[in-house]
C-alpha cells in the first residue's frame, strides 16, 4: 500500500509551549488509520497541524508525495483532504441541501454538484427525506451524518474525522462507524481520531496511540487490541 499522508517528527506549540513532541505517523492509501488518545492528548492539535491551522514548528508533512508545510489551509485541503471537526458544526439556519452545497463550494459545474449531492443522499437516505429542513432542527445523529456528507462533497482522497462518536448514543455510534467503513470501501482513505478504542479498532487497519503529545504505541488494529497497555488504558 502507498503512503498517502506522512508526518515526520512533528512538533506543534500553542504560545510557544509544545503540545506535540516529535510525532511521526503514516496513513496508507485505501486504509482506515486511527489515532487513539485520551482528552488533552493532542489529537485535535495533530489535525490542526495537518490542516495548517496551527502549523508545526518542526517536522515534515507530506500528502500524496507533496509537502504541505508552509501552505495555507485552503491550499492544503485542495490537495484532497476533508475534515469533519470535533463537535460537527453544521450551519443551523441553512437547509440540509444548502449545508451540503457549502461542502461542494469549489465545484463550478452544477451538473457535477448534483451528481455529488445524489451520491451523498444515496449514502445518507435519511438526509434526502429531510432535504429542505433546517439543519439546526435535526437530531444529533442526523447532524453528524450531515457533517460527514458535507465533507464528502469535495470528493476528498482523505477524510479526517475528529471524534465522530462524541455525544452519540451507542446505537448511533454503531451506525456512524458502519457508514465510515462504507465510505472507506468506496475508496476514501480515512484518518479517524477517537477515544472510543474498541469500536474504532474494529474498523481500522492500523493505529497509533497518542499520550501527552507523544506516540506511545502503534501497530495493526489487531496488534493494538491485544496490546496490554492499550487494554488497560482504553478497555477498562
Q: Which residues of the shown chain bind Mg ion in the complex (CB under 5 A)?
A: 43-44, 86
CB of 165 to Mg ion, least distance (A): 12
User: Grid coordinates standing for 166?
Assistant: 462524541
Q: Which residue is nearest to Mg ion (CB)?
A: 44
CB of 45 to Mg ion, least distance (A): 8
CB of 109 to ligand ADP, least distance (A): 37
Choose among 34, 54, 72, 67: nearest CA to 160: 34
Cβ neighbours of residue 63 under 8 Å, at least 6 residues apart? 4, 5, 6, 76, 79, 80, 81, 158
**Alpha carbons 226 and 231: distance in angstroms, whole number:** 7
40 binds ligand ADP (CB under 6 A): yes
Cβ proximity to Mg ion: between 26 and 194 the closer is 194
CB of 84 to ligand ADP, least distance (A): 14
- The 10 Å CB-count burial string (b at 16+, else e) for 111-145 is eebeebbeebbebbeebeebeeebbeebeebbbbb
44 binds ligand ADP (CB under 6 A): yes
Among the listed residues 10, 25, 33, 37, the single contact to ligand ADP using CB under 6 A: 37
Cβ proximity to Mg ion: between 44 and 205 the closer is 44
Which residues lie near ligand ADP (CB under 6 A)?
14, 19, 37, 39-45
Amino acid at each position: 500500500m502507498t503512503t498517502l499522508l506522512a508526518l515526520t517528527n512533528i512538533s506543534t506549540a500553542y504560545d510557544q509551549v509544545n503540545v506535540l513532541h516529535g510525532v511521526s505517523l503514516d496513513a496508507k492509501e485505501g486504509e482506515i488509520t486511527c489515532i487513539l488518545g485520551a482528552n488533552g492528548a493532542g489529537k485535535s492539535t495533530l489535525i490542526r497541524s495537518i490542516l495548517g491551522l496551527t502549523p508545526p514548528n518542526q517536522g515534515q508533512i507530506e500528502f500524496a508525495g507533496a509537502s504541505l508545510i508552509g501552505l495555507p489551509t485552503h491550499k492544503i485541503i485542495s490537495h484532497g483532504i476533508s475534515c469533519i471537526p470535533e463537535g460537527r458544526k453544521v450551519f443551523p439556519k441553512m437547509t440540509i441541501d444548502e449545508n451540503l452545497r457549502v461542502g461542494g463550494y469549489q465545484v463550478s459545474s452544477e451538473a457535477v454538484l448534483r451528481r455529488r449531492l445524489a451520491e451523498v443522499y444515496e449514502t445518507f437516505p435519511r438526509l434526502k427525506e429531510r432535504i429542505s429542513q433546517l439543519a439546526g432542527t435535526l437530531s444529533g445523529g442526523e447532524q453528524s451524518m450531515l457533517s460527514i456528507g458535507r465533507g464528502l462533497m469535495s470528493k476528498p482522497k482523505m477524510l479526517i474525522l475528529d471524534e465522530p462518536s462524541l455525544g452519540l448514543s451507542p446505537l448511533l455510534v454503531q451506525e456512524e462507524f458502519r457508514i465510515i467503513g462504507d465510505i472507506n470501501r468506496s475508496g476514501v482513505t480515512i484518518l479517524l481520531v477517537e477515544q472510543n478504542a474498541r469500536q474504532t479498532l474494529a474498523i481500522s487497519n492500523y493505529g497509533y496511540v497518542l499520550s501527552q503529545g507523544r506516540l506511545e504505541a502503534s501497530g495493526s488494529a489487531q496488534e493494538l487490541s491485544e496490546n496490554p497497555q492499550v487494554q488497560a488504558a482504553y478497555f477498562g
